[in-house]
Amino acid sequence: MERKTAVRASVAVVVLASALAASAAAQTRSTQKLVGATGKNEAFKITLTNASGKLVKTLKAGTYTFVIHDYSAGHNYELDGPHGKSWTFTTVPFIGVKKFTITLKAGKYKAYCKVHESFMFQHFTVT
Ligand SMILES: [Cu+2]
């Protein structure tokens, strides 16, 4: 009697462990990396590119890791999304790299530098 219970308990632990491993693997797969850059070589330029280095124009809704490279103390990196959502990834004086994991919902987005918002921006759409 005692032995049977112990066997059942260990089977349950194995099932739980593999379920956790499966969900961790699914999460890793769905998190794609995007790369943001602002003020590289002191240029008045801001970009958001995908893993292949192409400018992002459309994305599927989901969770993304934004790796933001802020190359200049004269520019920053911000993102506006739908429903008034916004993120300030870096401040103007900051120089360096920051990482953010963000869940994007459907809608229109705009990455921009707040100092030069009228011409330093990139739009993309999440579907
Ligand atoms: Cu700027």
**What are the strands of the beta sheet with 86-90, ordered from one edge?**
58-59, 121-126, 107-112, 77-80, 86-90
- The pLDDT tens digits of the residues spanning 38-87 come to 999 999 999 999 999 999 999 999 999 999 999 999 999 999 999 999 99
Higher pLDDT, 41 or 20: 41
Per-residue pLDDT at 17:
53
Tell me, in angstroms, the distance from the centre of ligand 1 to residue 45's CA: 7
Query: How far apart are the CA of 118 and the centre of ligand 1, in A?
Result: 10
Percent of the chain beyond pLDDT 70? 76
**Which of residues 118 and 6 earns the better pLDDT score?**
118
Ligand 1 centroid to residue 119 C-alpha, Å: 9
The Å distance, Cα 107 to ligand 1 centre, comes to: 24
